[in-house]
Structure 1
Amino acid sequence: MTQKNLESEVQLAPVETRRASEAIYDQIKDMIISGDLKPGDRLPSERNMMEMMQRSRPPIREALRMLEGSGFIHTIPGSGGAVVREITSASVEEPLENMISLKQISHLELLEYRELNEVAFVGWAAERRTEADLAAMAACLESARAVTDDLDAFITTDIKFHELLTASAHNGVLSIVNRVLSRIILDLLRTRLHEYPKEESRKMCRDILEMHMEIYQAVVQQDSKKAQELMHHHLERFRDDLSL
């Protein structure tokens, strides 16, 4: 994306209330959300921001760190300042994934949320799925059937099936959250299942595939209640099998 040097056009107001860094953060964030600042626009230099906002350098730097941590801006070495990022799903997903990875959210909390979340959306998937959704899920299940003896390959198809179910609910928020959960659960599954004896882990893979097939059939039949009951049972058993 071509960067635009719009520093002279950006007008920031003096900050007088609350913690200065938070007020600076909110002002710039609101300009990005409203479209006054667009992806590729360059923020004023720290010196110019100090003059515009009548604040010292430390709160301005803190606000810029907060904006970068939230995914609103990024600093390009040698560019002379911060640039507004294009807001994508990744900018929302990364902070959540980092929180989970840093164990600010436990695996148990994650799986409890997953049970609540997936039981709800599988009902919507049964009601809203398209023929293309069904075809993608069927292909995924066939791929899973072919790799039940290959633990890592099977785990990948397992996560993919749940992602396809999410997509079949046709809800953008669910898709964003599920992508984050899927990456964390993928790592958790690989770690835990490799701790089991090989034959036991293969049996678990076959059992998971059977449960996925039953859920798929309920979605095909647009039986949302049955799909939810099956998903609830599947996720409860998943948590029990992993001893979480």
Structure 2
Amino acid sequence: MFQPINHHKTADAAVDQIEELILKGVLKSGDRLPAERVLSEQMQVSRPVLRDALKTLEERNLIEARQGGGTFVCDLIGSIFSEAIVQLISRHPSAVSDYFDFRRGIEGQASAMAAVRAAPSDISRLKDIIEQMDAAHENQDVTLESQLDVAFHNAVGEAAHNVVMLHTLRSCYRLLENGVFYNRGRLYHHPSARTEVLNHHKTIYQAISAGDPNLARQAAEEHIDYVRATLAATEQLDQREQLAGLRRFETTARTAKK
């Protein structure tokens, strides 16, 4: 990951290299940097030079030194929205529709760009995630399936090789992981959703692997449309079940009084 520094350059070159790794998503929030001795050897700079570089990065709030625990990349994802807006959204479920509109557009674009720009290692990573999804589906591991769902979409965003899109998507998926917009577990408990979602991910992967941007965009958009519709159907079913339960309770209560 880390490359030797030209001896005619100073700590600025080390700063530039690490910043580039963070910007392009190679180094992610929470990643631990190698120990100072190891990192200085990999970059072929003296430890005093490296310390100056790390100090600069720390001043820029890109890395943080933890007492007795090494040096880590700071939490750089943050949130698209302020906490006040997040709480407002959580109280008004109608915002979920706007969220799906946003995801439909940006994920369609990311998938199309990935089909054009993905490197062999990107394709390999997507294939690996699909294989893990297959295994989790076979084992009926809903929790793992849900986690791999986010990992897959993150990998597509990385394969698009657009740093602004990459960090926007990561922030978007953090809200998804936190359940701000909807509980992904509910989606995977729908009778047919697990199989359908797996097939959608495979279609997106195949389109990206084939280098077909139009098909990749279409597959991503159809996936979001399906998730939106399925969650709406699940919500309606829950409401009907709740109403049926109330009716059953009232009927039982009236019968008991007689």
- Aligned with residue 80 of structure 2, among 96, 99, 103: 96
Q: Which residue of 2 aligns with 1:184?
A: 175
TM-score by length of 1: 0.58
- Aligned with residue 162 of structure 2, among 168, 171, 186: 171
TM-score by length of 2: 0.55
- Aligned with residue 218 of structure 2, among 225, 229, 233: 229
Q: Which residue of 2 aligns with 1:139?
A: 128
Q: What code does the residue aligned with 1:167 have?
A: E
Cα pair distance change 1:40/1:174, threshold 3 Å: closer
Aligned residues of 1:129 and 1:169 also touching (Cα < 8 A): yes
Q: What code does the residue aligned with 1:174 have?
A: M
Matches within 5 A, 1:16-55: none
Displacement after TM superposition at 1:227 (Å): 0.8
Displacement after TM superposition at 1:112 (Å): 1.2
1:220, 1:196 → 2: CA distance? 27
Cα pair distance change 1:167/1:104, threshold 3 Å: same
Q: What code does the residue aligned with 2:204 have?
A: I
Aligned residues of 2:136 and 2:142 also touching (Cα < 8 A): yes
Cα pair distance change 1:89/1:168, threshold 3 Å: farther
| Percent identity (aligned) | 19
1:96, 1:164 → 2: CA distance? 19
1:234, 1:107 → 2: CA distance? 16
Matches within 5 A, 1:51-70: none
1:170 is paired with a residue of what secondary structure? coil
Q: What code does the residue aligned with 1:122 have?
A: S
Q: Which residue of 2 aligns with 1:150?
A: 141
Which one scores higher on RCO, CA 8 angstroms, separation ≥ 6?
A: 2
Displacement after TM superposition at 1:167 (Å): 0.3
2:106, 2:194 → 1: CA distance? 23
Displacement after TM superposition at 1:121 (Å): 1.5
- Cα deviations by residue, 1:54-87 (Å, 9 ceiling, x for unpaired): xxxxxxxxxxxxxxxxx98xxxxxxxxxxxxxxx
- Aligned with residue 210 of structure 1, among 196, 199, 205: 199
Cα pair distance change 1:189/1:230, threshold 3 Å: farther
Aligned residues of 2:100 and 2:228 also touching (Cα < 8 A): yes
1:232, 1:196 → 2: CA distance? 17
Aligned residues of 2:204 and 2:219 also touching (Cα < 8 A): yes
Q: Which residue of 2 aligns with 1:116?
A: 105
- Note the residue ranges of structure 1 that are not aligned, 5 or more in a row: 1-37, 42-70, 73-87
- Cα deviations by residue, 1:143-199 (Å, 9 ceiling, x for unpaired): 11111211111010011100000000001111111111112223439964544795x
